[in-house]
Amino acid sequence: MNTKEVIIATERKLSCLPEGGKPISSYFGENTFSTRELRTRLPMDAYKAYLEALEKKLKIDLALANEVANAMKDWAIEKGATHYSHWFQPMTSLTAEKHDSFIEPMENGDYIERFSGKQLVQGEPDASNFPSGGIRTTFEARGYTVWDPSSPAFINKSGKGTTLCIPSVFLSYTGEALDHKAPLLRSINAISDSAIRMMRILGNRRSRRVFPTLGPEQEYFLIDREFFHRRQDLVMTGRTLLGAPPSRGQQLEDHYFGSIKERILTFMHETEEELYRLGIPAKTRHNEVAPSQFEIAPLFEEANLATDHNALVMETLRKIAARNGLIALLHEKPFAGINGSGKHVNWSLADDLGNNMLNPGKTPHDNVQFLVFLIATIRGVYHHADILRSSVASSANDHRLGANEAPPAIISVFLGDQLTKILMDIENGAITEATNSAIIDLGISRIPVLSKDNTDRNRTSPFAFTGNKFEFRAVGSHQNISFPATVINTIVTESLDILGDKIEAGGPNAKQATMDVLREEIRALKPILFNGDNYSQEWEMEAKRRGLPNKKATCASLPDMVSDKTIKLFEKYRVLSEVELKSRYHVRIERYCKKLDIEATTLHCMTSSQVIPAALEYQARLASSIERTGKVLGGGLDMSPQKELLKETADLINRVINTDRALVAGRAAALKITDNAKRASFYCDEIKCIMEELRDYCDELELIVDDELWPMPKFWEILFIN
Ligand code: ADP
Ligand code: MG
């Protein structure tokens, strides 16, 4: 790209300065239809009936739905909405909406705005264009959406359009889940039941409800739109398929927590303003490790809400970036050689009284309860590390996991030294009673524990206990967090049940029985505990000795979603049926193939229509320059270094042409493979290698060919100019 164009890109003005000044609390949640809003708009009886239905998860009858719909419509129209839409999360990573206008004809030919309970409760998008992994071909062809009252409706403003969005699940007519939300809700129900049962076993009578909480820390890159649009790879695949690393990457370590540039801060401010209006508690913003990489983290919320909110955060990042002449890249690895983006999903369990089950308390009872929930979680992770791994498997995340920036594909649990010691003391019999001072001490010495964990911050662990919650760090930046959350909920549910059964069977002294069960469980789950460096070679070998799974590639990991063990577990808790699991597997393996196919095709297009022509032009200039110079100097100077350069260029061009041909042939061979699993392996084992080789040659050419001739912006421009 030429220098003048770079300068034009940098001179982009801040599109609109934020109003600023208004306290967040004065507009927080104003674009969500909260229960508070509903109370002012519904008769008291109806309002109470609605709350009761929500709390007890009862069916909302049509009369009540009509009242709620009408109130919702009035509110939305006051906010400027003209349309409504069921908003749902199909098995792609995107959200989906189909807008309908509120207007309806009256008998006299006039039109008025109307929104019925029936329209609120159920929608019928044409499901045929969403992936179903075979469910629709096996069963009935159509799908429908159903309102999820546990997540508030909200106003979506985009350009001139204002739409009332109604969070919904998406089901087939035969009742199978076609989306991410339905299984998440089922898993929340499952863990709530098992957690409450466990609380009762441990003697807690006060808590009425237990539910999972999530706090996803979202990483992303922000680049100038100008650069983005000049790169076919970014536009088509979300990541660069070519590009030599810049001379300065992140080695100076000056970006993380660095001061935020004005243009970026304006973007962040506008994004947060929009999120606050949607009732999303965005709390933290900062620069991340790589140049032009950032993070936004909300306060944690109930899992279903947090999941919807994360989807909205991703949409809002994209929308506000565009408004500011920027592009938010959510891909897990937009730039080779530069840190990728993940999402640390913080997970815990809370009760309706505001207690966190993974927060060590001050009494023996609190701490035994804490230990039980802690061990149940670790146990679940140990027994189902393979499912957890598969829940984050994607072609994009493959570039990240294990690349010394993100945890490896081996799932292990980090507890920190102090907690590990306590568990070991319980296991080896040094602590036998709940009243042991080390157990009481758990809560009191929590502050030093926390600060210690924060300083060593074992960032290499995929599943780390960080004081009062677990942090699942292998999740990809652009993925919907529902499935990983669904998996954690389900595997912990099973462990809570198993522990509960054992404690109940352990005799009349529940306290002693609990300690006995803990000891036995700790002994069994020791192999999953690892506080060391997850990036090291030694760990990979050690993990193998411990029998921990290490599925490095998506195509190797995905079959674990449909193993007999997985099917049995998910069916037992009615989270996903065998058909639903298999459909998810098919969708994901198919998407893997499609994504790699798009990447291969894009790389071929860029190579043949951009890289090769630019390189040939440079080669021609070089050749004629050498020829003419030789003539003028008449053999008075040794021209061999220049001829060497020409030869090197020509040789690289040949390699590019040959490898590009191999890529085209490889892709044709891939398309002939009808079995998706086999095709996925072929992409993984063959096509990816060819792509990497081709990239290497192109990147070498990038460093040789005249900068003015290079047909696309380079990493240094994209990453350092914004
Ligand atoms: P760090 O930045 O060291 O990882 P923070 O305390 O800043 O830790 O928390 C990071 C994320 O963890 C935030 O999004 C926060 O909301 C979330 N979080 C904190 N407590 C919980 C919890 N009990 N359940 C789920 N997420 C939580
Ligand atoms: Mg964190």
* pLDDT, average across residues 111-140: 75
Which has more confidence, 381 or 15? 381
Give 521-566 pLDDT, tens digit per residue: 999 999 999 999 999 999 999 999 999 999 999 999 999 999 999 9
Is the whole model's pTM more than 0.85, yes or no? yes
The ligand placed nearest to the CA atom of residue 306 is: 1
Element spanning 294, H or E? strand 293-298
Give 370-386 pLDDT, tens digit per residue: 999 999 999 999 999 99
Ligand 1 near 212 CB (within 6 A)? no
Ligand 1 near 397 CB (within 6 A)? no
Ligand 1 near 214 CB (within 6 A)? yes
Chain position carrying tokens 């001179």: 11
Is the pLDDT at 4 greater than 60? The verdict is no
Cα 331 to Cα 274, 415, 478, 607: the distances in Å are 22, 30, 6, 22
In DSSP terms, which residues pair with 414 in a beta bridge? Answer: 464
* pLDDT, average across residues 174-197: 95
Task: Please report which confidence band the pLDDT of residue 17 belongs to, taking 50, 70 and 90 as the band edges.
Answer: very low
Q: Classify domain 591-720 by CATH architecture.
A: Up-down Bundle (1.20)
The token duo for 269 is 């401010």
Is the pLDDT at 692 greater than 70? The verdict is yes
Question: Which protein residue has the closest C-alpha to ligand 1 atom 14?
Answer: 215
Ligand 1 near 47 CB (within 6 A)? no
Ligand 1 near 450 CB (within 6 A)? no
Distance 346 CA to ligand 1 centre (A): 6
Distance 376 CA to ligand 1 centre (A): 20
The token duo for 197 is 């049962």
* pLDDT, average across residues 355-378: 90
Ranking 237-251, 274-288, 490-504 by mean pLDDT, the lowest is: 237-251
Residue 137, pLDDT score: 54
Is the pLDDT at 225 greater than 50? The verdict is yes
Distance 471 CA to ligand 2 centre (A): 7
Ligand 1 near 359 CB (within 6 A)? no
Distance 497 CA to ligand 1 centre (A): 26
Which has more confidence, 366 or 205? 205
Distance 301 CA to ligand 1 centre (A): 10
Q: Identify whether the C-beta of residue 304 lies closer than 8 Å to the C-beta of residue 184.
A: yes
- pLDDT, averaged across the chain: 90
Ligand 1 near 296 CB (within 6 A)? no
Residue 633, pLDDT score: 92
Distance 454 CA to ligand 2 centre (A): 10
Ligand 1 binding pocket mutation candidate from 280, 346, 374 (most atoms within 8 A of CB): 346
Query: How do the domains of the chain map onto residue ranges?
Result: 21-120+146-168, 186-576, 591-720
How far apart CA 483 and CA 186 sit, in angstroms, is 12
The ligand placed nearest to the CA atom of residue 488 is: 1
Residue 174, pLDDT score: 83
* pLDDT, average across residues 205-232: 96
3-state secondary structure 371-384: HHHHHHHHHHHHHC
Give me Rg for the CA atoms of the chain: 28
Is the pLDDT at 15 greater than 90? The verdict is no
* pLDDT, average across residues 631-660: 95
Ranking 82-91, 119-128, 325-334, 335-344 by mean pLDDT, the lowest is: 119-128
The ligand placed nearest to the CA atom of residue 282 is: 1
The 8 Å CB, 24+ separation contacts for 690-694 are 690/659, 690/662, 690/663, 690/666, 691/241, 691/599, 691/600, 691/603, 691/663, 693/659, 694/603, 694/607, 694/656, 694/659, 694/660, 694/663
Is the pLDDT at 197 greater than 90? The verdict is yes
Distance 190 CA to ligand 2 centre (A): 26
Task: Please report which confidence band the pLDDT of residue 94 belongs to, taking 50, 70 and 90 as the band edges.
Answer: confident
Residue 457, pLDDT score: 61
Residue 258, pLDDT score: 64
* pLDDT, average across residues 622-629: 96
Q: Which of 54, 122, 40, 49 is closest to 84 using CA atoms?
A: 122
User: What class does CATH assign to 186-576?
Assistant: alpha beta
Is the pLDDT at 86 greater than 50? The verdict is yes
Ranking 199-208, 314-323, 442-451, 712-721 by mean pLDDT, the lowest is: 442-451
Q: Which of 690, 607, 686 is closest to 653 using CA atoms?
A: 607
Residue 287, pLDDT score: 85
Is the pLDDT at 429 greater than 50? The verdict is yes
How far apart CA 82 and CA 518 sit, in angstroms, is 57
Relative to the CA of 350, which ligand 1 atom is closest?
Answer: 23
* pLDDT, average across residues 596-601: 98
Task: Please report which confidence band the pLDDT of residue 592 belongs to, taking 50, 70 and 90 as the band edges.
Answer: very high
Is the pLDDT at 252 greater than 90? The verdict is no
Residue 70, pLDDT score: 96
Task: Please report which confidence band the pLDDT of residue 679 belongs to, taking 50, 70 and 90 as the band edges.
Answer: very high
Distance 450 CA to ligand 1 centre (A): 12
